[in-house]
Structure 1
Amino acid sequence: MSLKHGLLGLLNYGSMTGYELDKAFKASLSFFWQAKTSQIYRELDAMERHGWLTSQRVIQSEKPNKRVYTITEDGKEELVKWLSSPESDIVDAMHVRSAFLMRVFFAGETSIQQSLEMLRRYRQKCLESSEGLRVAYDAISDYGAIVSDEKKSKYWEIVVLYGEAFFDAGLSWTDKAIAILEEELRG
């Protein structure tokens, strides 16, 4: 997936401002695809130049002006093309590239206490992230009501289930790793 396809997917549900897109993206997609606000706006400009979306400036008297983005037919075609393309990203999904795991791999060069602390911090992050998925469920409920298509929100739920399994696996792994190192300390 690329950021542009995620934004096209969100815009396919309806026109939004950059602020609304940023908020929707972070509420629903951020646990598996991160994007900074500046990246989102940069991508929106590029997609408008490609003709995948249009924007309309809305002048407001009591608030700052805003720009409302709308997907075009070309943008819808690009989204469908991407969704229909062979799943080459499945292979990418099967590979792990993690600086953290590289650090764990070489942690034998440090003290067990230092390694335990690192693993406990990772475990805490997994817990926090897992609890943060409630935001994704709230987003599914909120945006599902806007889209009025239960079929689409089922797919959103399936992705959040992956997030739950991912963080559960992280918790299970750290519990086992911590137990191994604590046993080594008692050894």
Structure 2
Amino acid sequence: MSLKHGLLGLLNAGPMTGYELDRSFKRSLAHFWQAQTSQVYRELTAMEEKGWLSSEEVVQTDKPNKRVYSLTEDGEHELQNWLSASEADIEKTITVRSAFLMRVFLAGEMPKEELLSMLYDFKEKCLEKLDSFESIRESIVHYGAVEAHADRVKYWELTVMYGESQCHAAIDWVKRAIAMLKEK
């Protein structure tokens, strides 16, 4: 997935400002795709140049002016094309590329206590990530309450289920890894 397609998908629900898009992205997609605010704004500019979105400046007297982005017909086509071409993405999703696992693989070159410490840290991060899914579910309920989004809730929930399953699998693995390393 690319950031631009995530933003197109969010804009498919209706016009938003850059701030609203950034906030919506962080509340809904960030559990499987991260982006900095500066990246969001860069992508919005690039997508507008490609004709995938249009924007309108809204003049405000009591606040700074804001720019509201809307999906164009070309943007809708791009989103639909991307959604239907997912075969390569499946392979990338099931193929693990992890610097952390590379360190574990090469850990025979380090003291076992150091590796155990790294594994305990990993376990804590996994537990924290698992806890974060509660706030994601709250966002799903919030955005799902909008009638236009009600039929999308189950798809959003599927990504949360995947993330939780991934965390549970990682926690199970790290518990077994720690037990294996503690054996004499």
Q: TM-score by structure 2 length?
A: 0.96
* Residues 54, 70 of structure 1: 8 Å contact kept: yes
Distance 1:145 1:154 in 2: 13
Q: In 2 relative to 1, CA 147–108 (structure 1 residues): closer, same or farther, beyond 3 Å?
A: farther
The equivalent residue for 2:17 is 17
The equivalent residue for 1:96 is 96
The 5 Å alignment of 1:80-95 reads: 80-95=80-95
Asked if 1:109 is matched to 2:116, the reply is: no
Give 1:143 deviation, angstroms. 1.2
Amino acid at match of 1:63: K
* Residues 143, 149 of structure 2: 8 Å contact kept: no
Give 1:86 deviation, angstroms. 4.6
**Residues 31-67 of structure 1, C-alpha deviations (whole Å, 9 max, x = no match):** 1111111111000000000111111111222222211
Amino acid at match of 1:161: M
Distance 1:181 1:170 in 2: 16
The equivalent residue for 1:61 is 61
* Residues 27, 136 of structure 1: 8 Å contact kept: yes
Structure 2 unaligned regions, length at least 5: none
The equivalent residue for 1:74 is 74
Q: In 2 relative to 1, CA 177–143 (structure 1 residues): closer, same or farther, beyond 3 Å?
A: same
Amino acid at match of 1:124: E
The equivalent residue for 2:155 is 155
* Residues 129, 167 of structure 2: 8 Å contact kept: yes
Q: In 2 relative to 1, CA 38–14 (structure 1 residues): closer, same or farther, beyond 3 Å?
A: same
| SS of structure 2 residue aligned to 1:148 | helix
* Residues 137, 157 of structure 1: 8 Å contact kept: yes
* Residues 13, 147 of structure 1: 8 Å contact kept: no
The equivalent residue for 1:132 is 132
Q: After alignment, is 91-100 or 140-149 more displaced?
A: 140-149
Alignment identity in percent? 55
| SS of structure 1 residue aligned to 2:97 | coil
The equivalent residue for 2:123 is 123
Amino acid at match of 1:61: T
Alignment coverage as a number of residue pairs: 184
Q: TM-score by structure 1 length?
A: 0.94
Distance 2:29 2:123 in 1: 22
The equivalent residue for 1:51 is 51
The equivalent residue for 1:178 is 178
Q: In 2 relative to 1, CA 35–147 (structure 1 residues): closer, same or farther, beyond 3 Å?
A: farther
Distance 1:182 1:64 in 2: 59
CA RMSD of aligned residues (A): 1.1
| SS of structure 1 residue aligned to 2:68 | strand
Give 1:87 deviation, angstroms. 2.1
Detail structure 1 runs of 4+ shifted over 6 Å in the superposition: none
Give 1:182 deviation, angstroms. 1.7
Amino acid at match of 2:150: E
* Residues 13, 149 of structure 2: 8 Å contact kept: no
